[in-house]
Amino acid sequence: MNFSQYQIPFNKPHLTGKETSFIEDAVKNGQISGNGKYTKLCQNYFQKQFGFTNCLLTTSCTDALEMAAILLDIKEADEVIMPSFTFVSTANAFVLRGAKIIFADSRKDCPNIDENSIEKLITSKTKAIVVVHYSGVACNMGKIMQLANKYDLYVIEDAAQAIDSYYIGHPKTDKKALGSIGHLATFSFHETKNIISGEGGMLVINDSKFLERAEVIWEKGTNRSDFFRKKVHKYEWVDIGSSFLPSDIIAAFLYAQLGELNDIQQKRKDIWNTYYDNLSEWAKKHKIQLPYIPKYATNNAHLFYLVVENQDQRQKILTYLKNLGILAVFHYQSLHKSKFYHDFHGSRELPECDRYSSSLIRLPLFYDLTNNELQYIIESLLMFEK
């Protein structure tokens, strides 16, 4: 029963107000298929702002991951190491090419891949490590790139949640945008992320040897990009590929969001900090784990989460909040225990991943969350007794 004056969703897509006028402009320009004016504006913005060597907008992060798997020439029996605590697309993209996924456990202090668990999973068949910057907080990229160099592996950053977040190396001035470190990286602009276009994504190509082929795969396996550059007289089928590029209508929407990036990020950080400051003491008292930002990472306030003691306590809190008109949600279910993959994975245990799967709660965090609503959520949690 819910008699609350509030009905607070988990997420509400934020509009900057310029989306429809940019789309109108794209429509008036008469070129609304892929790789148009707004696609180029977005790609240039990302390259300049975040130091990406190159990037291509895609229809989703899922598609960008599929492009990455094709680019790495992943084949039957290749092994790809990645965390089990991630979205299904991270794994699916490589399984589609025949890879065996070697799932790694998460860290104790945050859900990112435990960098110290990777080396013992590497075999002669290992081709790549896929890291996921969970909640926009950097994985230990220094250590992971070092391992990749030692064993000659590729690194792909699933940076779906990590726009405008950074890894801080040694010395501290060595600050790199997430997505600019691995050989390839992928972003999502799904409506649940910080910057959105409904559905949408991006492939970042930092190792320039992949650039030419990436454009071909992006354009359905043709050399259409060279044709536009007048490097060839006609374009033709030169490789495998698919329709990975979004319409310029999507890019126009995205470009409107990019213009407000700083404002959006500031607002999200304010909400995140208010949660953190007000819940710290309560969390300690109830043995609840709050988000941890390692020294080498920044916070882009993509998610605010609690890790409670167990599944029962989680259900109690979710129901309690729901009855107060607050929609909090859990997150990924361990992929190594999924219906589709558990037989392939076998019995190797990943206890931290399972703990996040059964005990993590995400609280509402979106630009248009009002201060009253935020205070109401915090007060509701503070009144929760187990």
Ligand X SMILES: *Cc1c(COP(=O)(O)O)cnc(C)c1O
Binding site for ligand X (CB under 6 A): 60-62, 86-87, 89-90, 132, 158, 160-161, 188, 190, 201
Residue tagged 């592996």 (tokens): 153
Q: Residues 32, 221: contact at Cβ < 8 Å?
A: no
The smaller minimum CB distance to ligand X, of residues 111 and 325, is found at 111
**Cβ within 8 Å of residue 56, ≥6 positions away:** 43, 67, 202, 203, 205, 214, 215, 218, 244, 245
Tell me the pairing of strands 201-205 and 184-188.
antiparallel
CB of 329 to ligand X, least distance (A): 13
C-alpha to C-alpha distance for 264 and 279, rounded to whole angstroms = 23
Question: How far does CA 286 lie from the centroid of its chain?
Answer: 30
Pairing of strands 54-58, 201-205: antiparallel
Q: Which is nearer to ligand X, 201 or 241 (CB)?
A: 201
Q: Helices 248-258 and 19-29 sit at what angle, rounded to 10 degrees?
A: 140
Quick check: 77 and 95 in contact, CB under 8 A? no
Min dist. Cβ of residue 214 to ligand X (A): 17
Read off the DSSP letter of residue 56: E
Least distance from C-beta 286 to ligand X, angstroms?
27
Name the minimum Å distance from CB 262 to ligand X.
22
Q: Are 203 and 214 in contact (CB under 8 A)?
A: yes
Q: Is the peptide bond before 171 cis (omega within 30 degrees of 0)?
A: yes
d(CA 256, CA 269): 20
Question: Shortest gap between Cβ of 255 and ligand X (angstroms)?
Answer: 17
- For residues 133 and 224, which CB has a smaller minimum distance to ligand X in the complex? 133
Residue closer to ligand X by CB (options 203, 279) is: 203
| Cβ proximity to ligand X, 188 vs 223, nearer residue | 188
Name the residue nearer to ligand X (CB basis): 50 or 376: 50
The CB-of-237 to ligand X minimum distance in angstroms stands at 26
Strand 305-307, strand 360-362: pairing: antiparallel
Q: CB of 99: closest distance to ligand X in angstroms?
A: 16
